[in-house]
Structure 1
Amino acid sequence: MAALGTAELLAAYRDGQLSPVEVMQAVLAQAQAREGQLHALCAVDADAALAAARDSEARWRAGTARALDGVPVTLKENIAVPGAAYRLGTAATPPGAVADFEAPPAARLREAGAIAWARTTMPDYGMLSSGLSSLYPEPARNPWNPALTPGGSSAGAAAAAAAGYGPLHLGTDIGGSIRLPAGWCGLVGLKPSHGRVPIKPGYAGRVAGPLTRTVADAALMLAVLAQPDARDPTQLPPGRVMPRALDLRGLRLGLLLDAGWGAAVEPEVAAAITAAAQAFERAGAVVEPLAPFATREMADGIDRFWRMRSWLDISALPPAQRERVLLYILDWVAPAAGYDGATVFQGYSQMQALREAANAAMDAAHPLDFVLSPVAPMPAFPAHQASALHDPRRPFEHIAFTLPANMSEQPALAINAGYTAAGLPIGLQIVGRRFDDAGVLALGAAWEQMRPAPRPWPV
């Protein structure tokens, strides 16, 4: 029951075959069975969840059910809910810190009747691609192999999704924090076009989006999340987000296997992504190699800008709180203390340089409809590492394929492409043109139909 998809649950509620109360009880039981190993959740309110499920059950009986009524959903810990703990994954935030506002994604899900029953773990300030955190005793673990990370920063959300803690999970992404854990956990993870899902607090490249087990679930969740909210000045006007019918014949797909910087793509990953491209080609799409468009200068500049941004936040903390920040993060931000204004400005300017390069890559001599690439160059790494290299001097070697879409504001979907010989998921990234969220979901749905049957979920 806990592993059913959103459409299946809604149909079962509508027909009276299942009750939201029964489903919520099953999800709570699944989480209780796995949490001792996975550490995906930082807060659970079972009583409130069951009360919400009873209210949902009453609405279904009265014929007043809403779009996602009674569907369980988890919220990443940095999604503000009034009165809920709001510590941003770091022990540097005082224990009593709570949110005093409701973030737009949380509000939209609540209004649609979804039951936000738990909050999911994340690394300090969301600045790692793992679940390592100074706040939680243990990092989040990957259900496919609990010795490994699920990825991050939406670490707990991905672990919960893969382990069957219900169908819907909300993450955030500023450089790959939805897509990396989706790829490493065999999930669907959507980084929407910037502004498609209003968010607060906002930041350049930062979005909220779904982590689910199917494209259909991601699309249903996005349809609810993509509602206007004037608190986000970057919000897009309402537009089509549900997948459209897609004829693969004649589609132009770019295949990007060299990001231009970062870690080299491992052979098993390259083979899986190439096989996916060949399957699209057999279905009638035109696939052509895409030359690298990002540079080391772009990556290092953005890294320096992010270091300064985080150093300003951390250095403003009282010394006793500052010392509680994860040591890796402190080592990462330390060089920013010596940056001058020119260094920071030049770093900031690389965000625009990458934005222009990523969008231009789709409009070369032969314009592309979509770009295929790995989500990450390697499979999941050990859970106690902060990053693939675990080196704060080279923190972002694994995000070379995901970072461009954040800066360019393009929609990008992560979806399972296969498995390594050791049974670890490999993620395929589908990047679309700006605003074409429906298109990347449609191409992802087409891939779901074409690919070999996925392995059973590690529930």
Structure 2
Amino acid sequence: MSETDLTIRELRQRFADRSLSPLEYWLALERHIEAWEPTICALYAYDPEATRTQAKASTERWMRGTTVGILDGIPATLKELIATKGQPVPLGTSATELAPATEDAPAAARLREDGAVLFAKTTCPDYGMLSSGLSSFHHLSRNPWDTSKNPGGSSAGASAAAAAGYGPLHVGTDIGGSVRLPAGWTGTFGFKPSHGRIPVDPFYVGRCAGPLTRTVEDAAFAMATLSRPDWRDGTSLPPNDIDWMDLNIDLRGLKIGLMLDAGCGLAVDDEVRAAVEAAGQRFEDAGAIVLPVPPVMTRAMLDGLDTFWRSRFWGDIENLNLERRSKILPYVYKWAEGGASISGADAVRGFNQTIEMRKSCGRLFTRVDAVLSPTNPIVSYPAEWASPTNDPARPFEHICFTVPWNMSEQPAASINCGFSRSGMPIGLQIVGPRFDDMLVLRLSKAFENWTGGVRSWPKPPVR
């Protein structure tokens, strides 16, 4: 195994026994990134020189025995939408007037407090409004498993970086699946915690931050840091005393719903269905009661969400001058323009469908303790596409398994459950009750233990 494939636990052990220093590890990782980055274009504001300074400072703390937190010396990235002081936040679009952020967003602040080495931001599409690596500001981000394919989004660069081995920790954001969808398409582990578990700023309905990693335990390490409260998020949960590393579970008697139909949107590929059914069988073999459950989404809910988001987003951009509007990715602008003719009453009716999603999810969880489903309905799609349909009139057909759990504020994760005949990863979504983030992590860890996780990751191109 290459040094660049080490987990957080392994890195901490190597730093502690002085067989590897944070600086030595970073220099190896820097060479690895140099080999990958021209092909997958996962990073923004990448600064190797400043990173060497951070890694050197961490090395000195480890030598003195004065580390500042559990992530001291661990390289990490943050999605471009997560502000870091002194760096512009382009929001993935050329329409943004660039200005340095005046302070760190909560996730950035928590990582710095615990000594993480923040070496770059990661790419996202315009305003984070696509499940794609396509952006009018950033270079096109690609999937390391097959660079002709899309990494998904909107945490596109984060998922590509995780799959390519740019260190063990990458933090994304998720309103409708933007952590889990790309995790599913890149074979990584993506965790969207309960709403408010990781504070975000700015706040938005359904918006969460969450880690993308190669292992469940690496995500658990991250949660111990990222879940500390922050006053800037009015939905931030109180301080917790959760032992994030307690990942053992006895599944006997646990009722788990198996959802293979999203209720609307894209049909599930046969290979995806087969992989998720096989995953359900593993839980049953371990003693869980696995039962089929109906979808929680309806066409009315999805269309209402589309109406509300178009209206909301048009409100954000309608006052931009024509020059700036012309710089927005045409797909995104064409979709948003539909919001111009939506009445206030219709926008509210659309928003009310998010409440219907919450009710539907709550009703299901009176019958089950957890839910399994596909993360993504399809195996893959071209890197150059703005979405799996590539049709701004049908923008959300791929999020029907993921978006309801944002609106219901429940924790959900995506973990690899196999590969297609074409060699592309397939994601299993695991959903738990509101606030029971540990159940999702424990179920994910159990599944990872059974499968052994992804054993062979993509290698950088030979140049």
Q: After TM superposition, what 4+ stretches of structure 1 lie above 3 angstroms from structure 2? A: none
Q: Counterpart in 1 of 2:193?
A: 192
Q: Counterpart in 1 of 2:176?
A: 175
Q: Counterpart in 1 of 2:143?
A: 142
Could you list the runs of 5+ residues in structure 1 that have no partner in the other structure? none
1-side partners of 2:296 and 2:312: how far apart?
26
TM-score calculated relative to the size of structure 2: 0.97
2-side partners of 1:267 and 1:32: how far apart?
37
Aligned counterpart in structure 2 of residue 295 of structure 1, from 295, 298, 304: 298
Q: Which amino acid aligns with 1:76?
A: K
TM-score calculated relative to the size of structure 1: 0.97
Q: Counterpart in 1 of 2:378?
A: 378
2-side partners of 1:250 and 1:401: how far apart?
25
Provide the secondary structure at the position in 2 that maps to 1:254.
strand
Q: Counterpart in 2 of 1:133?
A: 135
1-side partners of 2:239 and 2:273: how far apart?
37
Contact 2:75 2:119 in 1 (8 A): yes
Pairing 1:48-87 to 2, within 5 Å after superposition: 48-65=50-67, 66-87=69-90
2-side partners of 1:237 and 1:244: how far apart?
22
Provide the secondary structure at the position in 2 that maps to 1:2.
helix
Quick one: structure 1 residues 333 and 226, their matched pair in 2 at CA, closer, same or farther if it must change by over 3 Å? same
Provide the secondary structure at the position in 1 that maps to 2:201.
coil
Q: Counterpart in 2 of 1:164?
A: 165
Aligned counterpart in structure 2 of residue 257 of structure 1, from 256, 260, 267: 260
Could you list the runs of 5+ residues in structure 2 that have no partner in the other structure? none
1-side partners of 2:134 and 2:362: how far apart?
33
Give how far 1:2 is off. 1.6
Quick one: structure 1 residues 168 and 453, their matched pair in 2 at CA, closer, same or farther if it must change by over 3 Å? closer
Provide the secondary structure at the position in 2 that maps to 1:159.
helix
Aligned counterpart in structure 1 of residue 288 of structure 2, from 285, 288, 293: 285
Give how far 1:244 is off. 4.1
2-side partners of 1:453 and 1:24: how far apart?
25
Count, aligned residues? 454
Give how far 1:292 is off. 1.5
Q: Counterpart in 2 of 1:413?
A: 413
Give how far 1:115 is off. 0.5
Matched, 1:401 2:401: yes
Q: What CA deviation, in whole Å up to 9, does each residue of 1:392-446 have, x standing for no partner?
A: 0000111000001100000001000000001100000000000011110000000
Give the share of equivalent positions with the same residue, in percent: 53
Pairing 1:22-33 to 2, within 5 Å after superposition: 22-33=24-35
2-side partners of 1:441 and 1:146: how far apart?
30
Q: Which amino acid aligns with 2:134?
A: L
Q: Which amino acid aligns with 1:7?
A: R
Q: Which amino acid aligns with 1:376?
A: N
Contact 1:56 1:70 in 2 (8 A): yes
Provide the secondary structure at the position in 2 that maps to 1:44.
coil
2-side partners of 1:316 and 1:431: how far apart?
39
1-side partners of 2:185 and 2:208: how far apart?
20
RMSD: 1.0
Q: Which amino acid aligns with 1:248?
A: L
1-side partners of 2:90 and 2:154: how far apart?
14
Contact 1:222 1:241 in 2 (8 A): no
Matched, 1:348 2:366: no
Contact 1:276 1:451 in 2 (8 A): no
1-side partners of 2:32 and 2:220: how far apart?
24
Q: What CA deviation, in whole Å up to 9, does each residue of 1:66-99 have, x standing for no partner?
A: 21100000111011011112111000012x3221
2-side partners of 1:291 and 1:180: how far apart?
21
Contact 2:151 2:186 in 1 (8 A): yes
Quick one: structure 1 residues 453 and 202, their matched pair in 2 at CA, closer, same or farther if it must change by over 3 Å? closer
Q: Which amino acid aligns with 2:368?
A: L
Contact 1:39 1:141 in 2 (8 A): yes
Matched, 1:431 2:434: no
Contact 2:247 2:445 in 1 (8 A): no
Q: Counterpart in 1 of 2:122?
A: 120
Provide the secondary structure at the position in 2 that maps to 1:208.
strand
Give how far 1:184 is off. 0.4
